[in-house]
């Protein structure tokens, strides 16, 4: 199996099942035009997140790592019409600005809040404000901080909430305990933490597609 095959299948799935629309395509185009890195979730992955949030019945969604707001649009579309909100955290001013414009064009100016700053600071702020509990959290920022973000996600959620973490396989490197890659070690520490955490039931799923070989961790808050 090659990247070429994964790309072709992702294109096929996007064309048949996902039917990405003009708003999402424009969000990607605006992100690219502004020079943002092309590391958003893929269209099938975006819809996967959207469906998970809908299955959960999420009304209060938290995202850590906004980039241009592509995954945020998919998640905001999972909220019940006219109800619910999404808070998404971003440290780069340019990313936040592009995301705000993309979310506004998608019709979510008053539903989605892009908070600028280091995620750990914004998370502490959200706690002080009593912004939780969140029903659904998507963690997709700097990978070495994954254990901190997961701890915050647990603090800011309730029983029944779902926590999803992106990029937990990293081309298979996650299985290499001796990896010197800080992102890989972040994921391994995250997994050790999840394994020792009685409040969640979790798994991880490997994925291939236009983003290469990677994966998602999914945790259900059970108590
Ligand atoms: N979820 C997005 C992709 C996010 S890429 C999507 O799928 O569309 C990761 C983002 O996390 C980048 O925009 C990066 O600037 C941001 N980021 C990195 N470190 C961060 C930090 N410490 N606090 C908040 N955001 C951070
Ligand atoms: C990178 C970050 C991501 O969140 C992702 O999905 C893919 C790549 C990166 O930093 O390279
Ligand atoms: Mg990612």
* E-strand stretches of the chain: 60-64, 85-90, 112-116, 134-139, 157-166, 200-209, 212-221
Longest alpha-carbon distance in the chain: 49
Asked whether 127 and 143 are in contact (CB, 8 A), the reply is: no
Cβ(166) to ligand 2 under 6 A? yes
Ligand 2 atom closest to the Cα of residue 40 is 6
How many structural domains does the chain have? 1
According to the model, what pLDDT value does residue 209 have? 98
Instruction: Say which DSSP state 75 is in.
Output: H
Which residues span the domain enclosing 102?
Answer: 3-221
Q: What is the pLDDT of residues 46-63, one digit of tens each?
A: 999 999 999 999 999 999
In terms of pTM, does the model score above 0.75? yes
Q: Which residues lie below 8 Å from residue 194, measured CB to CB, with a gap of 6+?
A: 150, 200, 202, 217, 219
pLDDT computed for residue 99 by the predictor: 99
What pLDDT score does 20 carry? 75
Measured in Å, residue 38 CA sits from the centre of ligand 2 at 8
Is 122's C-beta closer than 6 angstroms to any atom of ligand 1? no
Domain of residue 181, CATH code: 3.40.50.150
User: Does 1 score more than 90 pLDDT?
Assistant: no
The chain-wide mean pLDDT, for the chain, equals 97
What is the pLDDT confidence band of residue 212, given thresholds at 50, 70 and 90?
very high
Structure token pair of residue 201 = 């039931």
């Amino acid at each position: 199996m090659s990247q070429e095959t994964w790309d072709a299948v992702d294109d096929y799935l996007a064309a048949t099942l996902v039917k990405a629309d003009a708003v999402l395509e424009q969000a990607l185009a605006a992100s690219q035009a502004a020079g943002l890195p092309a590391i958003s979730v893929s269209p099938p992955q975006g819809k996967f997140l959207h469906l998970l949030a809908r299955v959960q019945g999420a009304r209060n969604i938290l995202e850590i790592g906004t980039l241009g707001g592509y995954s945020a649009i998919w998640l905001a579309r999972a909220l019940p019409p006219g109800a619910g909100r999404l808070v998404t955290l971003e440290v780069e001013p340019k990313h936040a600005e592009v995301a705000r414009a993309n979310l506004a064009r998608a019709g979510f100016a008053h539903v989605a809040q892009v908070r600028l700053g280091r995620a750990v600071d914004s998370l502490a702020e959200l706690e002080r404000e009593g912004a939780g509990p969140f029903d659904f959290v998507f963690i997709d920022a700097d990978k070495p901080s994954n254990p901190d973000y997961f701890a915050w996600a647990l603090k800011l959620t309730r029983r029944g909430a779902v926590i999803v973490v992106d990029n937990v396989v990293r081309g298979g490197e996650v299985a290499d305990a001796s990896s010197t890659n800080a992102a890989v070690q972040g994921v391994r520490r995250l997994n050790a933490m999840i394994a020792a955490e009685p409040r969640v039931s979790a798994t991880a799923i490997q994925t291939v597609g236009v983003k290469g070989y990677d994966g998602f961790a999914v945790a259900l808050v059970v108590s």
